[in-house]
Amino acid sequence: MTEAVKDLKDLGEAVASEETGTKAAAPEESQKPREKQVDKFGRSYGTGRRKDAVARVWIKPGKGNVVVNGRDQSVYFARHTQRLILNQPFLITGRVGQFDVICTVKGGGLSGQAGAVRHGISRALENFEPELRPALKKAGMLTRDARAVERKKIGKHKARRSKQWAKR
């Protein structure tokens, strides 16, 4: 199996060198190390999305305060599970209480908004500390959750719920 993969890789390099006229560059050489992206206020930005919710998130070094739409996280997200979802990126990277988070969220419900803020925090953490990317990527925090509500079909009550059928 590995020999076939090596052969395909060699084949790909040969085809690439024929097209460009040079030997294909090694992946390590072509990838530049990611740089820290911070604005003049020392904040890093990330956009998060989940269902219909969109979150704009800024993080900066601080005491661990999280402000969502001008309110504290415990006021805005009343459920404990939503606050756990919100803080997952910090738990995974071991940065609990080291960053202040300021975010604005629009659209969707509270569950979708919590997921959007989590996605935004993950992206902002990656922009602030690029070396955290492998841990966040492995945990699936950087991937947008593409699941959405299935559309209602004609002749059905909901997306899949059929009309009641009576034999007699």
**Hunting for tokens 């504290």 — which residue is that?**
72
Question: Do 16 and 48 lie in a common domain?
Answer: no
Structure tokens at 141: 């925090």
Quote the pLDDT of residue 66.
Answer: 95
Mean pLDDT across the stretch 68-91? 95
Mean pLDDT across the stretch 116-121? 97
Specify if 157 maps to a domain: no
Quote the pLDDT of residue 1.
Answer: 46
Region of residue 97 (phi > 0: left; psi between -120 and 50: alpha; otherwise: beta): left
Rounded CA gap, 64 and 66, in Å?
A: 6
Structure tokens at 13: 């390099």
Rounded CA gap, 57 and 114, in Å?
A: 12
Question: Do 69 and 108 lie in a common domain?
Answer: yes
Specify if 152 maps to a domain: no
Mean pLDDT across the stretch 141-151? 94
Rounded CA gap, 141 and 88, in Å?
A: 9
Specify if 134 maps to a domain: yes
Q: pLDDT band at residue 114, thresholds of 50, 70 and 90?
A: very high
Question: Do 64 and 113 lie in a common domain?
Answer: yes
Question: Do 68 and 123 lie in a common domain?
Answer: yes
Tally of domains within the chain: 2
Quote the pLDDT of residue 7.
Answer: 55
Q: Is the pLDDT of residue 130 over 70?
A: yes
Burial of residue 131, with CB atoms counted within 10 A of its CB: 0-12 exposed, 13-18 middle, 19 or more buried: exposed
Q: Is the pLDDT of residue 68 over 60?
A: yes
Mean pLDDT of the chain: 87
Query: Tens digits of per-residue pLDDT, 81-103?
Result: 999 999 999 999 999 999 999 99
Specify if 3 maps to a domain: yes
Amino acid identity for residue 8 in this structure? L
What CATH number has the domain bearing residue 124? 3.30.230.10
Specify if 49 maps to a domain: yes
Q: Give the domain range for residue 86.
A: 44-138
Mean pLDDT across the stretch 19-44? 71
Kindly report the pTM of this predicted structure.
0.77
Q: Is the pLDDT of residue 9 over 70?
A: no
Rounded CA gap, 139 and 128, in Å?
A: 18
